[in-house]
Amino acid sequence: MKLSIQVNEGPYQHQASDSAFQFTKAAIEAGHDIFRVFFYHDGVNNGTRYTTPPQDDRHVVNNWSELSAAHDLDLVICVAAAQRRGLVDEGEAERNGKDGNNIAPGFRISGLGQLIEAGIQSDRLVVFGD
């Protein structure tokens, strides 16, 4: 079955991203296709490569990056939400006059239409948030 996942909260403050990650992993293990993981609201903050969590704790961002690399996951960060919160890739940095970018491997920035498309194309959409 084709599934999409929406994540509305950033790393560490809320369990949402952890729950979404565990769910996504379990869905892949069960043989389902993940059409897309869409990061909205503070969820965009899951896509920064600048995090350095304590050594004895999980690395929320790397978890996503590595799962994406292993299973070719489409991790999409909403551009409008990202602009408000300071998550930028190279293109966004250039467009908005920023001197660098902080996006983590495996993530890409795109529009809200990608969320609607995920709703249309997927058999199920599951939302994780506050």
Partner 1 sequence: MSEVKKFLYVNRRAPYGTIYAWESLEVILIGAAFDQDVTLAFVDDGVFQLVKDHDTAGIGMKNFTPTYGALGDYDINKIYVEKESLEARGLTIDDLQHLIWEDEDEDWAEKDSIKVVTSSELAKLMGQQDVVLSF
Partner 2 sequence: MTMLHTVNKSPFEKDSLTSCLRLSEDGSTILLIEDAIYAALEGTTISDSIKEALKTKKVFALQEDINARGVKNKVIDGIEQVDYAGFVKLVTEHDTVQSWV
Q: Site residues (CB under 8 A) for a copy of itself?
A: 10-13, 41-42, 45, 48-54, 61, 80, 83-88, 92-93, 96, 98, 100-102
- Specify the length of the chain in residues: 130
Task: Name the strand (E) or helix (H) holding 4.
Answer: strand 2-7
What is the H or E stretch that residue 109 is in? strand 107-110
Catalytic residue check, 54: no
CA distances from 28 to 13, 35, 73, 80, 104 (A): 25, 11, 10, 29, 22
Query: Among 120, 35, 21, 38, which Cα is nearest to 80's?
Result: 38
Nearest-approach distance from CB 90 to partner 1, in angstroms? 24
Structure tokens at 36: 């897309």
Contact partner at residue 117 from partner 2, partner 1, a copy of itself, none, CB < 5 to 8 Å by partner kind: partner 1
CB nearer to a copy of itself: pick between 67 and 79: 79
Q: Would you call 4 exposed, middle or buried from its count of C-beta atoms within 10 A (0-12, 13-18, 19+)?
A: buried
Minimum distance, C-beta of residue 40 to partner 1, in the bound complex (Å): 7
Q: Does 72 bind partner 1 (CB under 8 A)?
A: no
Q: What's the min distance (Å) between Cβ of 31 and partner 1?
A: 21
> What positions carry a catalytic annotation?
78
Which residues of this chain interact with partner 1, rule CB under 8 A? 6, 12-15, 18-19, 21-22, 40-41, 54, 56-58, 63, 80-81, 84, 111-113, 115-117, 119-120, 125, 127, 129
